[in-house]
Amino acid sequence: MPPVQLQVGLDYRSALVNREGIGRYTRELVRAMLQLDESPLLGLFGYTFAKRKFTDAELGIAQGKARLMRMRIPSRVLPWVMEKMKRGADDLVGGCHLYHHTQPSLLAVSRAKEIVTIFDAIYTLDAGYMDPEAAERMTAVALKQVRRADRILVPCQFVGADIVMALGAHPSKIAVAELGCDHVLRHMPAEGFPAPKDPYLLTVSRIDPRKNHVRILQAFERLVADGFPHRWLIAGPRGWQAEIFERELDKSPAKERVEYVGDVSDARLTQLYCQAEALLFPSLNEGFGLPPLESMACGTPVVTSHVTATGELCEGAAMMVEPADVDDIYLATKKLLTERDIYDELVDLGRERAALYTWENCARKTVVAYQGAMTQTEEDSKRLYSSL
């Protein structure tokens, strides 16, 4: 008899409503997984009250081995509804062998094995990166995820070590599946984009203290004082304590040269990357950090942090800086803009580096993790837990 095809339930809610972060990951993972010869049968859990922002065709699920199961139920009442129905998320996707939690929202599962994706452990740090109450909630959820999961997917080795140290995960549970950045190429015209009217530097991120906008602004002010003609464009939504940066910008001598473009479409984001002269992304802490790789894929060089995940992902292919040092950010950017040989070299190295990070590779490694979770026996699980 032929082997039974693996049936996987997957939390697809963020893919329907969020353009950035986890929404991007979930959309592109499923899109790539459906292209694999060994793709499992996917039941996509889409129970959310929020209005979806993408059609099935845009999501890449119009044809393929995936079923979107959707009812408009507010997330806050979903656990109560499931408890009353005596159903788990695996039941609500029509039954599955394995259920994949793709976001920090741990739903009840009746019988299926469980795999979780944990993108970082930043919420465990007392560093002022996020609302303390939100950090406490996220830590509590992550600890439960670590305990329940048969496998834990992480986007890079840095995060894998973090999950072991900060959340007590057993190392044998960790599976690395690096994210892809090749989605930006779908929106790149064959003839490329025309040069912008005025040169600009770009930052793509949510505005919050961790993303380091205040120090980028201070470095940019010095570039303006030096006579550089560039504008600074910021793409991304407002985040926690965005007002700190906004107050600094309001009194900045360079504020007329700073443009906030907000949350943009995928096509517009690709254009912004391609037309920018450089991406400034000296984040203080990242679990992965897609914008540097996206920018490299578009042929735009990057100034980023040598610490946390970006140091691992961009090694040798970007201008690496100490993110807490304004002088370092300023000097690295100035060097990039004035030394053409370095600029051209980083364009080439960046493209080569970005080409290593594809959603097909992410999907293949994810399927391997699924298979590992399915072959783990109950005795294996007991041994793992007894050693914690």
**pLDDT tens, per residue, the chain with 388 residues:** 445 689 999 999 999 998 778 999 999 999 999 999 888 999 999 999 999 988 898 898 977 679 999 988 988 899 999 999 999 999 999 999 999 999 998 899 999 999 999 999 999 998 889 999 999 999 999 999 999 999 999 999 999 999 999 999 999 999 999 999 999 999 999 898 999 999 999 999 999 999 999 999 999 999 999 999 999 999 999 999 999 999 999 999 999 999 999 989 889 999 999 999 999 999 999 999 999 999 999 999 999 999 889 999 998 999 999 999 999 999 999 999 999 999 999 999 999 999 999 999 999 999 999 999 998 654 454 444 444 3
Q: What is the dihedral of CA 81, 82, 84, 85, to 10 degrees?
A: 120
281, 202 in Cβ contact below 8 A? Answer: no
The type of residue at 312 is E
Q: What is the CATH number of domain 7-180+359-386?
A: 3.40.50.2000
Fold agreement (7-180+359-386, 183-354): yes
pLDDT at 58: 87
Helix or strand (DSSP H, E) at 117: strand 113-117
Q: What is the pLDDT of residue 377?
A: 54
Q: Which residues contact 248 (CB under 8 A, 6 or more apart)?
A: 214, 217
Q: What pLDDT shows up at residue 325? A: 98
Provide the residue ranges of all domains of the chain, joining segments of one domain with +.
7-180+359-386, 183-354
Reference 160, options 203, 215, 212, 116; nearest CA is 116
- Tens digits of residue pLDDT in 83-92: 999 999 999 9
pLDDT of residue 3: 58
> Is 237:20 a contact under the CB 8 Å cutoff?
yes
Question: CATH class for domain 183-354?
Answer: alpha beta
Give Cα separations from 388 to 115, 141, 177, 289 (angstroms): 18, 18, 24, 30
Give the DSSP H or E segment for 281.
strand 278-281
**Chain center to CA of 188:** 21
